[in-house]
Amino acid sequence: MPIQTAADSISNSAGSPYGFKNRIINGAMVIDQRNAGAAVTVSTSTNTFPVDRMALISVGATTTAQRVEGTGAYSYDVLYTGAASVTASYFFQRIESVNCFDLVNKNVTFQVQLSSSTVTSVAVGLFSAGSTDNFASPVSISSTTFTITSTPTIYTWTVNAGANAANGLQIQLNFGAFTSGTARISGMQLEKGTQATTFDYRPHTTELLLCKRYCHVFRGAADASFSNIGLGTCFDSTGFQCDVPMPVQMRVQPTVTYSDVSHLAVHLPGLVRVTATAVAMSTTQSGPSSAAISITTTSNGNIVSHKCGHFEFNNSTTGWLALASEL
């Protein structure tokens, strides 16, 4: 029996209902680690993620977005709401080079389900990274325009991925001067070939693990408001370091963000809980497979060097801590 390589698996999945034919991760908008379905404000200067792997940025004014109950064939949509003074609004995903190395000079087909109460034209673009996984200055490959309506409809586009596809690809929707109304987005798929095939529904656990390569979120909850993030050790009277293993290897060493420092605490033997005052990533001791998180606390007689304890949520049902290595 011949041995099948990873490249064979990717190549053979094109046009097939099996395998990783959809190079877009979370195209059905099912994974939302950061927001858990809550609305988010879309920044004018940095990428905002209304769901995992899907980035939004507004030009001219902030907008809002939220994962909501889906329409048509999809369980979830991203509901995107315009605002006065918006001159452009970009919804996009950047595809890592390891997931598109075989698309150099190959035809690919993009599909997406779109509708809007006000927008009638959406510009669609395919870009390559300027160098391997470097999207600081994406290079345009080709573009087209979808004429959309208020009825959720699947639109398709076939294009050649170009000579630099192995650097990584960015597929982008521009809603233009989105000054009012709403738009719905779901069912994004990019596959090898000249035909749009059935959507690649992957198991929820598989989709979640694919997302965790780029973002891993810890979250407090109503039934676990003291939930544990990781184990660690005190290194002086106010310092604690927690080592967090990743469920999957992340793309690169992640950065850390969190809801509010008051939502986090160090819990030491004897049921002593000390609220955190600062949280940061120890860059010299972290990597793609584990993160060393340094926590500063108020001075406390129970914070003694070499004492072990937990890094956890401070009785918070809304707290979160995110490790991200997005493109």
**pLDDT reported for residue 225:** 87
Q: CA-to-CA distance for 152 and 112, rounded, in angstroms?
A: 10
Do 96 and 159 fall into the same domain?
Answer: yes
Do 27 and 132 fall into the same domain?
Answer: yes
101, part of any domain? yes
Do 109 and 196 fall into the same domain?
Answer: yes
Chain mean pLDDT for the chain: 92
193, part of any domain? yes
Instruction: Decide if pLDDT at 303 tops 80.
Output: no
Instruction: Decide if pLDDT at 203 tops 90.
Output: yes
312, part of any domain? yes
Do 103 and 178 fall into the same domain?
Answer: yes
1, part of any domain? no
**pLDDT reported for residue 307:** 84
Do 135 and 255 fall into the same domain?
Answer: no
The H or E element that residue 323 is part of is strand 320-324
For 1-57, write each residue's pLDDT tens digit: 333 333 333 444 444 445 689 999 999 999 999 999 999 999 999 999 999 999 999
Do 136 and 81 fall into the same domain?
Answer: yes
**Last residue in a domain, options 194, 212, 230:** 212
Instruction: Decide if pLDDT at 63 tops 50.
Output: yes
The H or E element that residue 8 is part of is helix 6-13
Phi, psi of 84 (to 5 degrees): -55, 145
CATH number at residue 207: 2.60.120.260
Do 197 and 252 fall into the same domain?
Answer: no
**Last residue in a domain, options 163, 194, 212:** 212
Q: Determine the structural domain holding residue 68 and report its residue range.
A: 6-212
Of the candidates 270, 306, 311, 273, which has an alpha carbon nearest to the alpha carbon of residue 292?
311
Of the candidates 225, 314, 306, which has an alpha carbon nearest to the alpha carbon of residue 267?
314
Q: How far apart are the first and last CA of the chain?
A: 38
Do 165 and 179 fall into the same domain?
Answer: yes
**pLDDT reported for residue 19:** 63
For 128-169, write each residue's pLDDT tens digit: 999 999 999 999 999 999 999 999 999 999 999 999 999 999
Q: CA-to-CA distance for 150 and 170, rounded, in angstroms?
A: 26
Do 226 and 208 fall into the same domain?
Answer: no
Average pLDDT over residues 207-214: 98
**Last residue in a domain, options 163, 183, 212:** 212
Do 220 and 129 fall into the same domain?
Answer: no
186, part of any domain? yes
Q: In what order do the strands lie in the sheet with 215-219?
A: 215-219, 320-324, 255-258
User: How much of the chain exceeds pLDDT 90, in percent?
Assistant: 82
- Split into its structural domains, the chain has a count of 2
Asked which of 88-102, 112-126, 131-145, 265-279 is least confident by mean pLDDT, the reply is 265-279
Asked which of 15-19, 100-104, 174-178, 311-315 is least confident by mean pLDDT, the reply is 15-19
User: How much of the chain exceeds pLDDT 70, in percent?
Assistant: 93
For 211-265, write each residue's pLDDT tens digit: 999 999 999 887 788 999 999 998 887 889 999 989 999 999 999 999 999 999 9
